[in-house]
Amino acid sequence: MKMDRTKCNNIISNVVCPVETEQVVNKLQRTKFSVFIDETSDICNKKWMTFFVRYIDPETLNILVKLMNIDAKDCSATKLFNAFRNDLWTLQIPFTNIIALSCDNASVMTEKHLSFQSKLKEMCKHLQTFPCPCHSAALAAHAACTKIPSYCEEFMKRISSYINKSPKRTAIFHEFSNYFVDESRKILKLADTRWLSRYTCIKRLLQLWDAIKSYLEKMVIKDKTKSGENLLFMMYDIKMKAYFLFQKYILKFFNAFNVFFQATETRIHMLHMKSANFLMQICQNFIKQEYLKDITTNINFAQKEIHKDINDIVVGEECEEYLNNVVTEVDTVTSIRQNCLQFYETAAQEIRKRLPITNIFLKRLEVFAPSTALFDNNRETSFHHIIYVAKSLGDFDEECLKKEWLTLSTDFTANEKESIKIKF
């Protein structure tokens, strides 16, 4: 089948979309679902509130994710909620079917007293709310990076603009890149809205470090530009490369956590465990062993008595080697390590504040991991966690749940259990 763009667009908009929407609405009217909401704008700068609904199809038992849009001309909490409520009323979808809300950390969405979240809780008695873990991790990384001297970020932004915005400079730099790393590579631009970009930019910058330095030395002699001289002067500061090497080491943990929860499969039952492990990964770098057991409580990460010796703080193998071989002044090394320590303190504090380290509901969800759900022999004990989750969500038949849980492991063969365990 072939058709022009106009006809194809009309078929999608006027035929496929209404039918698909009607099918989704019919299922949401009788199925519990969770919602992820974000605000955006289209190519015409028209504001929309976009939300995904995630539910289990009652007929096929497949997990489905559907996209819906609501016009949101006014972005205040009240107007956003009213637009959302009116659309649900129009579609005759009961609020009691909403069991969970996930959103970004904007105040209009998560403010304690007047926000979309607080208003939705008034309508949904058993609503569970979770901030986006990827966004939360990105905010923690951003806050921690402010403890690194600002000239590092300034250099990343300026060197990218200096080279990439001039076709002549770009062509010359490609020759240097080919000579030093055997291939032409572009300097990446740091984007604050792209959560994983900082690590990638720093990694590329360090790969091209010698090429950039030699390139700037030639350009300063040839063109005598003030901007080039300033950038070369910044590269002569031996501390800057140490900070980049440290960030390359530590931001890898943030990216790994972020990428893990951008997967398409269901991983919410692992959120509590992964958040706690993430905090532990950060704290092991600067906190003494005997204090690590208390990191999920109200321990003050800035307390000096819980810190390792300044020379024992882990800054990564590459950074450690650089400090030992290149940075010879003791005061300079101490200054670098102190800033890395402040990074760790802020990162640990932000992770504990933003991620669900102490969330009991998510902790109980771990019972749905295949290792427990399919292989646990003490079904009566593990069922207490099931009951806690069911009561938190509301409107579940406890007797049916218990019967299903006690017989669940017998519904699969040994090979099927192992296959599910490996997959998840």
pLDDT of residue 355: 93
- As a whole number of angstroms, the distance between CA 155 and CA 201 comes to 12
Q: Who wins on pLDDT, 267 or 64?
A: 267
- As a whole number of angstroms, the distance between CA 310 and CA 335 comes to 10
pLDDT confidence bin for 202, thresholds 50/70/90? very high
- As a whole number of angstroms, the distance between CA 417 and CA 423 comes to 10
Whole-Å CA distances, 9 to 4, 102, 159, 376: 9, 31, 43, 52
Highest mean pLDDT among 84-88, 295-299, 317-321, 389-393: 317-321
Paired tokens of 381: 């004990």
Q: In this model, does residue 341 exceed pLDDT 90?
A: yes
Q: In this model, does residue 53 exceed pLDDT 90?
A: no
Over residues 325-332, the mean pLDDT reads 88
Q: Who wins on pLDDT, 409 or 139?
A: 139
What CATH superfamily classification does 19-131 receive? ATPase, nucleotide binding domain (3.30.420.40)
Burial of 305 (0-12, 13-18, 19+ CB in 10 A): exposed
Over residues 42-71, the mean pLDDT reads 70
Q: In this model, does residue 73 exceed pLDDT 80?
A: no
Q: In this model, does residue 185 exceed pLDDT 70?
A: yes
- As a whole number of angstroms, the distance between CA 351 and CA 284 comes to 14
Instruction: List, for residues 111-126, the tens digit of each pLDDT value.
Output: 777 888 888 888 888 8
pLDDT of residue 169: 87
Q: Where are the domains of the chain?
A: 19-131, 139-354, 360-423
Over residues 31-58, the mean pLDDT reads 75
Instruction: List, for residues 261-286, the tens digit of each pLDDT value.
Output: 988 788 899 999 999 999 999 999 99
Paired tokens of 350: 């932000």
Closest CA to 273 of 260, 286, 263, 284: 260
Give the rounded percent of residues in the chain with a pLDDT score beyond 90: 40
Highest mean pLDDT among 125-139, 143-157, 190-204: 143-157
- As a whole number of angstroms, the distance between CA 137 and CA 352 comes to 10
pLDDT of residue 345: 96
Residue in the structure block whose two tokens are 């969800």: 365
> Where would I find the beta strands (DSSP E) of 287-342?
none
Paired tokens of 31: 């199925």
Over residues 247-257, the mean pLDDT reads 95
Buried-exposed string 124-136: b where 16+ CB fall within 10 A, e elsewhere: bebbbbbbbbbbb
The strand pairing partners of 50, in sequence order, are 38, 69
Paired tokens of 1: 């089948």
- As a whole number of angstroms, the distance between CA 104 and CA 37 comes to 8
pLDDT of residue 165: 87
Q: In this model, does residue 249 exceed pLDDT 90?
A: yes
Give the mean pLDDT of the chain: 87
